[in-house]
Amino acid sequence: MAMTAAQEAAFKAASGNLEPGGMHLLCLGLLIGFLFFWAAWAIVDVWSGWSGDRVKSAAMGRAVVRTVLLLVVSIWMFCS
């Protein structure tokens, strides 16, 4: 649903003359950046546990699959 002219003017006034499309891209960029940062942290954490024999191989595989699945579904849902 597109914004009316009055809604777009109110949005620009409240956001410091920023276009709605620009704000959309900024929010998407922050979300995807945070998700990749979290995924890297999760994979490194699981890897360090696996290399120190504190995490089983099956648990590591599940963690990697869940992390990749989270990234794929999030990108599909929010960036399409």
- Give the model confidence (pLDDT) of 22-53 as tens digits: 999 999 999 999 999 999 999 999 999 999 99
Q: What is the pLDDT of residue 36?
A: 97
Residue 74 has pLDDT above 90, yes or no: yes
Per-residue model confidence (pLDDT) at position 80: 85
CA dist., res. 51 & res. 71, Å (int): 24
CA–CA dist 66, 64 (Å, integer):
5
Question: How confident is the model at residue 1, as a pLDDT?
Answer: 79
Nearest Cα to Cα of residue 71 among 24, 25, 34, 30: 34
